[in-house]
């Protein structure tokens, strides 16, 4: 007999007299996943799980926003309506459109630097239902402030999104959601390529990032 089955038998024999029914665990069906828009990342993670929170964290210029925008573009490509609760008013529509985001399918909520409002907005958007992807951008919120968000708020958000087909995306500097996130991606920047010689007029050509999940990492290159 396998160890979970043994454990269950032990528990039932010990507690059976106190409960009328057997202890039946409901097996959760495998979550449907959608593409991140980046093939290597899809291969690493299997895609973004629907009905769950995906957390992207990393320092400034680590590619978090580029990854979020790529995911928004991928969702818009499937003709889904997306929403962005932007705590720091940092979203740049021009670069998002250049990255392939269909702006007419994006609801952008500017929260004026108030992470609490952003969290409430994300909750309302999830409760409204029907969004393919809801992103909560706390990328400019300092980790100390983000850590002050009670864990109960994240549990509430996780519960609200659980039985929906919505992908919940969270962008921040450090990991704060803990066990409420089904997928955690840690971003860091590797190299930046410039055209031309130093001292002359030149271009920022490309940047190479590395996304890590569950101990495995893949490089992601964004090039103009």
Partner 1 sequence: MFAAVHGAELAQLARCVADFSPYVEETSSSTAVISIDGLAHLFGSPREIADAIARRAADLGLAANVAIADNPDLAVHGARGFSGVTVMEPGREVGLPVALLEPPEEIALTLALWGIRTFGELAALPEDGVAERLGDEGVQLQRLARGAGGRPLAPSNPAPPFAESIEMEHALTLLEPLAFLLGRLLHDLCARLESRGLAAHELKLSLALEGADPHQRTLRLPYPMRAAGTFLKLLSLDLEMHPPGAPVTAVTLSAEAVNPRVVQHGLFIPLAPEPQKLELTLARIAKLVGEGNAGSPELMDTHRRGQYTLTPISAASANRCQSILAQFLPVLRQFRPPLRAQVEAPDGRPVRVHAPGVRGRVLESAGPWRTSGDWWIEDAWARDEWDVALSDSALYLLYRDRRNGQWFVEGAYD
- The reply to whether 214 sits near partner 1 by the rule CB under 8 A is no
- The reply to whether 186 sits near partner 1 by the rule CB under 8 A is no
- The reply to whether 61 sits near partner 1 by the rule CB under 8 A is yes
Binders in 103-142 for partner 1, by CB under 8 A: 103-112, 114, 117, 120-121, 124-125, 127-132, 139-140
Dihedral angle sign, alpha carbons of residues 73, 32, 179, 218: negative
- The reply to whether 223 sits near partner 1 by the rule CB under 8 A is yes
Closest CA to 152 of 134, 177, 175, 181: 177
Integer Cα distance of 208 and 126 in angstroms:
33
First to last CA, the chain: 57
- The reply to whether 102 sits near partner 1 by the rule CB under 8 A is yes
Binder among 33, 48, 74, 184 for partner 1 (CB under 8 A): 74
**Shortest gap between Cβ of 161 and partner 1 (angstroms)?**
13
**Shortest gap between Cβ of 6 and partner 1 (angstroms)?**
43
Contact residues for 131 (Cβ-Cβ < 8 A; gap 6+): 80, 81, 82, 83, 107, 125, 166
Integer Cα distance of 88 and 122 in angstroms:
14
Nearer to partner 1, 167 or 177 (CB): 167
- The reply to whether 60 sits near partner 1 by the rule CB under 8 A is yes
CB atoms inside a 10 Å sphere around CB 202: 11
Nearer to partner 1, 124 or 212 (CB): 124
């Amino acid at each position: 007999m396998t160890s979970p089955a043994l454990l269950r038998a032990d528990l039932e024999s010990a507690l059976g007299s106190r409960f009328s029914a057997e202890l039946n665990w409901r097996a959760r069906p495998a979550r449907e996943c959608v593409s991140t828009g980046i093939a290597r990342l899809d291969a690493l993670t299997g895609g973004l799980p629907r009905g769950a929170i995906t957390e992207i964290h990393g320092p400034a210029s680590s590619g978090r926003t580029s990854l979020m925008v790529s995911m928004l573009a991928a969702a818009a490509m499937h003709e889904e309506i997306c929403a962005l609760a932007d705590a720091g008013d940092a979203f740049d529509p021009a670069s998002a459109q250049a990255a392939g985001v269909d702006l007419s399918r994006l609801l952008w909520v500017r929260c004026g630097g108030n992470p609490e409002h952003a969290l409430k907005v994300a909750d309302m958007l999830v409760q409204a239902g029907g969004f393919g992807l809801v992103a909560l951008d706390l990328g400019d919120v300092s980790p100390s402030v983000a850590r002050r968000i009670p864990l109960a708020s994240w549990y509430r958000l996780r519960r609200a999104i659980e039985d929906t087909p919505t992908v919940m995306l969270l962008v921040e500097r450090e990991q704060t959601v803990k066990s409420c996130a089904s997928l955690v991606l840690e971003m860091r920047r590797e190299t930046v390529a410039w055209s031309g010689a130093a001292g002359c007029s030149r271009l920022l050509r490309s940047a190479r990032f590395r996304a890590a999940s569950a101990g495995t990492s893949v490089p992601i290159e964004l090039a103009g």
